[in-house]
């Protein structure tokens, strides 16, 4: 290479600056041209979230905050008309690759809307946060069966309770008079009038309007049986004194169900560009879930388990492949000669299935879980061979 020394410092600097300028110009031309646009779009994922005041939008924003990797992976949280409409957006809207939806919406689009092959086109990546069913009743009501023929309010149309509530009652075989009035209005009237027998809520516990108020004797939350008809779509849940200290005794538990919020994905054709970007998304989620499970992110991340199943849904192929890879690693290492214990050996010998069934906060990528009351994750050693 020829030296610039004989040209002098000013001339050498001028040549260097000219070269850098030409390089920047070329890069700028590429950035704003077809290639730059294609590169940016290849790493961008549209995530339909929900309304500005809802928990789904916060979850989507936190996913973007942690998983974004420059132009290689960029998640765009989208404010939508609501979680129910997110399912439509996932099926129909250009630019939407994933969405946060409720677990029972798949059956609606399959059986009621009759969307063609919807269970094939839409899969799940993970179950996110549960929204517990909470039924608040007047003193004369002692069980969910007592609500037959009574006015039951499911809140305004478009809310989770207005969608999931009637489905749940139909699956229980209880015929109620369905009302869809704003809950704040009904909760004001229910104290002095028996017009409404109950209000139904589907949201994260506790409901502030119920837990913080002082109610006359007899007002209560009632149990919901976890029947075979509910097992297909919902998860078991409980309400206790920590949730509602004014309504539930210290030694009492109210059995109920929860509607899972699901991180759903469109099942793009393997080999396509959109499939490739979703594989990158899945890999990043497995790798970075432990970060999401720490403050300041939503506390419900602590219970997210990527190996957990969602009733009535099919797991997304790349997620299943990732879990199979982890299980295969555990199987291979359990039959190999054991070396001195190290962090790598502990991780590779992880029993994904056993740990996933034991700990809700289990992360298969790191083989760790979050012990109750702790902010530090611990290695799951359940089912490991010695």
Outline where 273-316 has alpha helix (H). 273-292
In the chain, the N- to C-terminal Cα span, in Å, equals 61
What is the torsional sign of CA 202, 205, 209, 213? positive
Q: Which residues contact 175 (CB under 8 A, 6 or more apart)?
A: 148, 149, 169
Mean pLDDT for 30-37 is 74
**What is the predicted pLDDT for the residue at 346?**
38
Report yes or no on whether pTM surpasses 0.75.
no
At 55 the three-state DSSP class reads: helix
Task: Give the Cβ contact number of residue 192 at 10 Å.
Answer: 8
Q: What angle do CA 346, 307, 102 make, to 5 degrees?
A: 155
The owner of tokens 């609606």 is: 108
At 215 the three-state DSSP class reads: coil
Give the confidence band of 238 by pLDDT, cuts at 50, 70, 90: very high
**What is the predicted pLDDT for the residue at 40?**
73
Say which range, 213-217, 304-308, 330-334, has the weakest mean pLDDT: 330-334
Outline where the chain has alpha helix (H). 9-32, 34-42, 55-67, 83-92, 105-107, 118-121, 160-172, 183-189, 208-211, 228-231, 273-292, 317-335, 343-348, 352-358
Which residues pair with residue 240 across a beta bridge? 253
- Closest-CA residue to 60 (of 285, 373, 339, 343): 285
Six-digit token string for 107: 């059956």
Answer yes or no: are the C-beta atoms of 121 and 129 closer than 8 Å. Answer: no
Region of residue 179 (left: phi > 0; alpha: psi -120 to 50; beta: else): beta
**What is the predicted pLDDT for the residue at 384?**
57
- DSSP H or E segment with residue 47: strand 44-50
**What is the predicted pLDDT for the residue at 380?**
85
Give the confidence band of 94 by pLDDT, cuts at 50, 70, 90: very high
pLDDT at residue 26 tops 60: no
Answer yes or no: are the C-beta atoms of 219 and 141 closer than 8 Å. Answer: no
pLDDT at residue 131 tops 80: yes
242-270 pLDDT, tens per residue?
999 999 999 999 999 999 899 999 999 99
Per-residue DSSP letter, 315: B
Radius of gyration of the chain (CA): 26
Mean pLDDT for 272-282 is 95
Mean pLDDT for 23-44 is 69
Q: What angle do CA 170, 176, 179 make, to 5 degrees?
A: 105
- The whole-chain average pLDDT of the chain stands at 85
Answer yes or no: are the C-beta atoms of 291 and 341 closer than 8 Å. Answer: no
**What is the predicted pLDDT for the residue at 341?**
35
* CA dist., res. 244 & res. 221, Å (int): 9
Task: Give the Cβ contact number of residue 159 at 10 Å.
Answer: 21
């Amino acid at each position: 290479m020829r030296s610039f020394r004989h040209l002098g410092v000013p001339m050498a600097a001028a040549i260097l600056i000219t070269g850098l300028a030409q390089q920047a110009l070329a890069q700028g031309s590429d950035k704003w041209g077809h290639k730059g646009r294609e590169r940016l779009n290849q790493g961008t994922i549209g995530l339909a979230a929900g309304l500005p005041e809802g928990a789904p939008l916060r979850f989507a924003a936190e996913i973007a905050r942690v998983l974004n990797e420059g132009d290689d992976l960029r998640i765009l949280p989208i404010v939508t008309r609501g979680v129910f409409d997110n399912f439509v957006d996932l099926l129909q809207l250009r630019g939407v690759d994933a969405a946060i939806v409720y677990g029972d919406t798949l059956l609606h689009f399959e059986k009621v809307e009759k969307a063609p092959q919807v269970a094939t086109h839409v899969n799940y990546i993970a179950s996110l946060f549960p929204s517990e069913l909470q039924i608040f009743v007047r003193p004369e009501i002692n069980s969910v069966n007592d609500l037959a023929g009574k006015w039951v309010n499911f809140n305004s149309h478009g809310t989770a309770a207005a969608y999931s509530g009637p489905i749940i009652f139909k699956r229980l075989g209880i015929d109620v008079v369905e009302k869809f009035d704003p809950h704040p209005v009904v909760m004001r009237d229910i104290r002095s009038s028996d017009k409404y027998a109950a209000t139904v809520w589907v949201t994260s516990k506790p409901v502030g309007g119920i837990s913080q108020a002082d109610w006359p004797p007899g007002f209560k939350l009632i149990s919901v049986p976890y029947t075979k008809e509910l097992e297909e779509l919902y998860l078991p849940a409980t309400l206790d004194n920590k949730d509602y200290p004014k309504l539930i005794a210290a030694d009492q538990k109210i059995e109920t169900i929860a509607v899972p919020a699901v991180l759903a994905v469109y099942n793009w054709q393997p080999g396509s560009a959109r499939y490739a970007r979703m594989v990158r998304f899945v890999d990043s989620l497995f790798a970075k879930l432990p970060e999401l499970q720490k403050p300041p992110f939503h506390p419900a991340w602590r219970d997210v388990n990527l190996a957990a199943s969602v009733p009535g849904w099919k797991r997304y192929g790349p997620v299943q492949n990732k879990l199979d890879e982890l299980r295969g690693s555990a199987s291979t290492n359990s039959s190999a000669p054991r070396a001195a214990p190290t962090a790598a050996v502990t991780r590779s010998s992880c029993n994904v299935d056993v740990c996933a069934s034991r700990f809700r906060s289990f992360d298969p990528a790191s083989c760790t879980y979050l012990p109750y009351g702790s902010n530090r994750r611990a290695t799951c050693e359940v089912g490991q061979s010695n």
